[in-house]
Amino acid sequence: MAEAVIKLGGKKKKNTIMDMVKEILPEGGNLNACLTCGACSSGCPATGLENMDARKFLRMAALGMDKEVLESNWPWMCTMCQRCIYVCPMQIDIPQLIYNVRAMRPRDERPKGILESCNMAMKHDTLSAMGTSEEDFEFVVGDVLEEYQEAQPEFAEMEAPIDKVGAEFFLNQNSREPVTEPDEMVPLWKILNLAGANWTYGSKAWAGENYCMFISDDKSWKKMIDTTVDHVHKLGCKTYLNTE
């Protein structure tokens, strides 16, 4: 009589996110490096949203809960502020894990708001999340500047230059303001004018946001950075002044 053979288990489940966690641990450490101390969650602005926090998220990834991690909306609430890695005694790079998890979601299933903002930013070298062209931006800046120069004589000599070669500061701008709230640009112009700062906008790369980074679109993110760096260098500016 043949003996009954019982086989347990089967093909070992591959935990893709577990592999990611191992890669972001410092100096090739293992998951025991996480002390589950909760320091990462204590200063996280997304703690409590979706009943989740950074410590719980990391433990779920470490336990191989790929499906639950990938279906969670919590990674999209992370601001990438990096407070968690700053306070982590083991320097575990949770923001990198968040970024990788975002990239694993099909692009057309990522949050519509930042997806469309990234798509719009790719339409012009202005990188505007509102899809504003170079010509439209230059018109708005010129029109608003002229209005304030006439209405407020004390600022008759105020400037809002675009593509000024050799300026000290290359100033970026929130994409929304030139389109919906152009007067909101003026207070900073006044400050720079009163400070005697040598500054300029760029006709290209003036938009200050980078939604392509937040949506984990490496190709578009790289294009935005390259466009910005190239234009700043072309103008010979010494400092990139990020208002965002």
- Banded model confidence at residue 63, pLDDT cuts 50, 70, 90: confident
Q: Same domain, yes or no, for 75 and 20? A: yes
Give me the pLDDT at residue 25, please. 62
Give me the pLDDT at residue 21, please. 66
Per the prediction, the chain carries an average pLDDT of: 89
Determine the number of helices (DSSP H) and then strands (DSSP E) in the chain: 12, 3
CB 162 within 8 A of CB 201: yes
CB 64 within 8 A of CB 17: yes
Q: Same domain, yes or no, for 237 and 124? A: yes
Q: Which of 51, 78, 105 is the last residue before a domain boundary? A: 105
Q: Same domain, yes or no, for 229 and 146? A: yes
Per the structure, the count of domains in the chain is: 2
Q: Which of 105, 130, 160 is the last residue before a domain boundary? A: 105
Note the helical H segments in 35-185.
Answer: 39-42, 54-62, 66-71, 83-87, 94-104, 112-121, 134-151, 176-180
Give me the pLDDT at residue 36, please. 86
- Banded model confidence at residue 243, pLDDT cuts 50, 70, 90: confident
> What range does the domain containing 174 cover?
113-241
Mean pLDDT for the stretch of residues 104-129 = 95
- Banded model confidence at residue 192, pLDDT cuts 50, 70, 90: very high
Give me the pLDDT at residue 91, please. 81
Q: Same domain, yes or no, for 225 and 182? A: yes
Q: Is 11 part of a structural domain of the chain? A: no
Q: Please state which of the ranges 18-27, 127-136, 174-183 shows the lowest mean pLDDT.
A: 18-27
Mean pLDDT for the stretch of residues 39-58 = 93
Q: What pTM was estimated for this model as a whole? A: 0.81
- For residue 89, pLDDT beyond 90: no
Percent of the chain with pLDDT over 90: 72
* H/E element, 241: strand 239-241
Q: How far is CA 217 from the centre of its chain?
A: 10
Closest CA to 228 of 244, 204, 198: 204
CB 201 within 8 A of CB 173: yes
- For residue 13, pLDDT beyond 60: no
